[in-house]
Amino acid sequence: MFRLVALALRLSARRPSGLSALSVLALAAALVLAPALHAQFVPPAPGTQVHDPAALKPPAGARVAIVEFEDMECPDCGRANPLLKEAAAKYKIPWVRHDFPLPMHAWSFNAAVNARWFDTKSKAMGDEYRDEVFASQISITTPQMLAQFTEKFAQSHNVALPFAIDPQGKLAAEVKTDYALGQRIGIEHTPTIWVVTANSKGAPFVEVVDRTKLFQLIDQALADTKSVAPAKTAHK
């Protein structure tokens, strides 16, 4: 960069007689800005580089599933949540939700632990808690506000919230296990979402980089895992 600036100054001082000072300055500016313009249009990075794909498969008995790593304080996870819920319901496929609370978020880890406590009451209640947290993110700005939200959620479901939700740290350990799994896979951001398949003719898992293509990816996964009907024997 410093060399380009020096070149620009020399061009301005020694411009040919046929060029105006303004033209030389414009040329010099183009030289100086060229690297920045080049950097601005670098293609986006590809999807997640998967190091350990062992977890990227549907639950037993399912052909296709959605696998997601989420942070309950992540705004983009909140935006993705209704779409993933809709897709799982529309196609009647499992939606496997893993916790990946990012360290910079103040209350996401607590929310993940809370959700797992509600899971112990029923998986449906735990998932409803997750959905409502995502829908209410904008009003939950501190761990204290999360605690108030969680108390109200419990009351609305006629559940008595204990003073200590996880006194032995078992639920926190489960959240940490999910986080470690995400690290082994290669997770770098949330949400990270895959459509995963069993015994597929196509790719065993495909990352949903563009969520507008989620339904299209599921359609393809279902087609790739459709059982092939046995050939009929010709009658003589």
pLDDT at position 46 is 66
CB under 8 Å to 110, separation ≥6 — which residues? 143, 146, 147
Tokens of 147: 């605690």
The fold of the 64-224 domain, in CATH, is: Glutaredoxin (3.40.30)
Tens digits of pLDDT across the chain (236 residues): 434 334 444 544 444 444 454 444 444 444 444 443 333 333 344 689 999 999 999 999 999 999 999 999 999 999 999 999 999 999 999 999 999 999 999 999 999 999 999 999 999 999 999 999 999 999 999 999 999 999 999 999 999 999 999 999 999 999 999 999 999 999 999 999 999 999 999 999 999 999 999 999 999 999 999 974 444 544 44
pLDDT at 227 (0 to 100): 78
- Cβ count near 173 (within 10 Å): 12
pTM reported for the whole predicted model: 0.77
Enumerate the domain spans of the chain: 2-40, 64-224
Question: Which residue in the block uniquely carries the two structure tokens 């529309």?
Answer: 90
